[in-house]
Amino acid sequence: MTTSRSANIEPPGPGREAAVPTGGWRRRRILAGLAAGVPAVAGGLLLSSCIDGRPGPGPSGTPSPGPSATAAPPTDGTTHDPEDPFRPAYHYSPQDGNMADPNGLVEYEGEYHLFHQQDGTWAHAVSTDLMTWEPLDTALEHDDLGLAMSGSCVVDGANTSGLLPDGGLVALYTSTTGGEAQSLAYSSDRGRTWTRYEGNPVIANDGRKDFRDPKVFWHEGSTSWVMIVSAGDHVEIHRSPDLKTWTWASSFGQDQGSHAAVWECPDLFPLKDVTDDEVRWVMTVSVGDNQETAGSTAQYFIGDFDGTTFFPEDDQIRFTDAGQDFYAAQSFEKIEGRRVWMAWMGNWRYPYSLPTEGWHGEMSVPRELSLTRVDGVRRLRQVPVPELEAFLEESADLAGMSAKDGVSELGTGRCVQIDVELDVSQAQDAWLSLARSEGSSTSATGSEVRVGVDTAHSVFYLDRSAGDLEKVANREEGAQEVDFALRREVPYTPVDGKARLRVLLDRSSLEVFVDDGATVGSFLVFNDAQAQGIALGATGTVSVLTGSLTPVAQVEAP
């Protein structure tokens, strides 16, 4: 294992404590306990306001000196909808039902299309800014070939399919009758209505159990459509001139990467390495529910692709996310000049067991992707899309704040961005305490979620072991409850004693981007909605070199 500023995310193993269940904390009821609030409905999405970004006192209970004591501007209110306290303010969530994998992400004629799994159908929403989503009618319902499972969309502007004389969208997805197979649908009206291809399936099932989740793209170098599709313990590459007739080209993965569970939801795309401008190909694969990582996870490979075969540049196992809740990530097709993806913030160990009202699931914030190098080793880099900045409100300056063998209050908020560079050179452990209630870090009556850097053991961690939700129902009926209160950690060593953390907290979701996205962790958070505290903590001494606490505005659908 290479010791580095932000070392490769690795699965649990000897000497590492990842996904550690914590039985010492009693289960707490998730209490609404909220002031009355009236939910707003915009564009079909249930919306409500949140308490955001108010600076807090220093360790003595009085405001800390300097810019950090400056009051933040008024926020967008102090009430949650008591019936729906965990619905995110600036992450996509379904109006109702059970959401899972993002599907068919594509940009077409000025609109971004987000399709996603919703009880075996393709739900649909569109956006012009990747943040504000307008729900549309369900795109693909069940039909004679069964469910419409995960897949992808492409723009067939040249009508290679012969189905779209004026161009349009083509979806490739997994149908289920007679075994998992790949089927096609097309739209000539900007994705508003869809027609199933009469020759479905375009790739029939040959008797295998697992054969799903096609991701399709145009490969310019070989002038062909390419499909990457999961096939149990590996992926397959297929090629087509017309999206209807497919030929197997190669397989990858039987002896590569993690095989803790079935492979799903593959993707394959070129990315530029920002350190040398060299373009490499990245293959991503999600790995289903398994004991090794205490749930589902995702991994990626870096290499070359010639239109037929993927050639990995090394045999390293690289995991996509350090947290517990980032699955089935898919990148958008046809976005010029950048590669953007989104993922389902969920886990197949507890996909629909969490305490939300009438809906389950939310998406990650859209992330821009690139490659970087850490100690000479290539790494996937993920950062929030710049479109998020339009929803950031006035910041409170945190520079100069510090904590010594305890905690210092920074402010309050459950819909915030925290962007800090920390001096951790004098700390054995340094952390941000989030969604924090009375008594956190001082007695067992308080709750919190931590993200931090344990310099004594050279790890970055996310820890919800002191949260309000200890166990949830297992997705397998009759099975033992699942530990939700756990800690995830990955190898990490700060450079020159400094760690940069960009944190996005949105009621029930938490995303942390470390050192400009070289390491990323995603967690779901179900602390009481009134647990609003934000604090800086340390064993030893930690100080904020530069930093801000910024409310993020409620995203209103058009």
* Enzyme catalytic residues: 101
Residue indicated by tokens 């200890």? 470
List all residues 6 or more positions away from 539 whose beta carbon is below 8 Å from its beta carbon: 405, 427, 428, 429, 430
Nearest C-alpha neighbor of 280 from the set 201, 361, 412, 371: 371
Amino acid at position 270, single letter = P
Q: Locate 335 and state its tokens.
A: 């976005």
Within 10 angstroms of residue 474's Cβ, the number of other Cβ atoms is 15
Contact 489, 322 (CB under 8 A): yes
Half-sphere CA count of 75, side-chain side, radius 13 A: 28
Give the per-residue SS3 of 133-191: CEEEEEEECCECCECCCCEEEEECCCCCCCCCCCCCEEEEEEECCCCCEEEEEEECCCC
Rounded Cα distance, 371 and 380, in Å: 5
Rounded Cα distance, 107 and 154, in Å: 9
Return the SS3 of 265: strand
Residue indicated by tokens 């944190």? 503
Within 10 angstroms of residue 338's Cβ, the number of other Cβ atoms is 14
Contact 84, 39 (CB under 8 A): yes
Query: For residue 98, what are the β-bridge partners?
Result: 360
Residue indicated by tokens 């006192």? 57
Rounded Cα distance, 426 and 303, in Å: 39
Rounded to 10 degrees, the C-alpha dihedral 5/10/16/17 comes to 110
Strands (E), 82-129: 97-108, 111-118, 121-127
